[in-house]
Amino acid sequence: MTEPLLQLTAMSISTNEQVLMHDVMLTVHAGESVALLGTSGLGKSTLLKAICGLLPKQRFTVAGQMKFLGHDLRHLKPQQWRALRGPGLALMGQNISENFDERQKLLSHFIEAVRAHEPGRSKADITHAALDLLYRLELAYPERILHQYSYEFSLGMSQRVALALTLILKPKLILADEFTSALDLNTRLAVLTELKALQQELGFALLFVTHHPDEAHFMAQRSYILHDGTITPQQTTPPEASPCPR
């Protein structure tokens, strides 16, 4: 097997008061979907933020090795992080509102996100790419949505739009932190189904954090479980045994 896209080796996260995680070993390969299971409050979100370099260094100490595309994330400079976040690593969190500025229409969000990495890309090209993603996510009237503000979206629309904003940068790995937890059952199933289909089509890798085993079975080829501050690999679930989330 080729070198993992993401590889955590003997990783630990601690504060001045306690060790939050220790001896973490985890891999994600290109195009693969991996679930990270565990009940609330165990530090799954903290782990994803550590991978993305978003933990405040004044409060947290990260040790061990975190390699992405062969580079150790612990030693990246700020400008390297700016280039990596988005096209390389993309974090989708539980708080959907963090993705939006209510003073700007949606199209401005797409333009700002893309031009942060591709300054010369035209508005027409970005608009076309954004519309394509909104259509793929089965949103009605995408042309109208591009000229709306985020407070005009329903919760399900906001989640799909946030996913489109992530995908327009063509990330190699999406870290999804229980990003459907606020949705009702039917909307959650629809969004997960769309995400799974888009992953198969576009080929990005997915590290999917959840505390629902049925979601993990539905989304992932492999699973890890977080317990007592460390991570244990779980047996792979065959596709025919993978129920839809309920």
The predicted structure's pLDDT at residue 66: 95
The predicted structure's pLDDT at residue 71: 87
The predicted structure's pLDDT at residue 161: 95
The predicted structure's pLDDT at residue 88: 95
Q: What is the DSSP string of the chain?
A: -PPPSEEEEEEEEE-SS-EEEEEEEEEE-TT-EEEEE--TTSSHHHHHHHHTT-S-TTT-EEEEEEEETTEEGGG--HHHHHHHBTTTEEEE-S-GGGG--TTSBHHHHHHHHHHTT-TT--HHHHHHHHHHHHHHTT-S-HHHHTTSBGGGS-HHHHHHHHHHHHHTT--SEEEEESTTTTS-HHHHHHHHHHHHHHHHHH--EEEEEES-HHHHHHH-SEEEEEETTEEEEEPPPPGGG-PPP-
List, for the chain, all residue ranges whose pLDDT scores fall below the cut of 50. 238-243
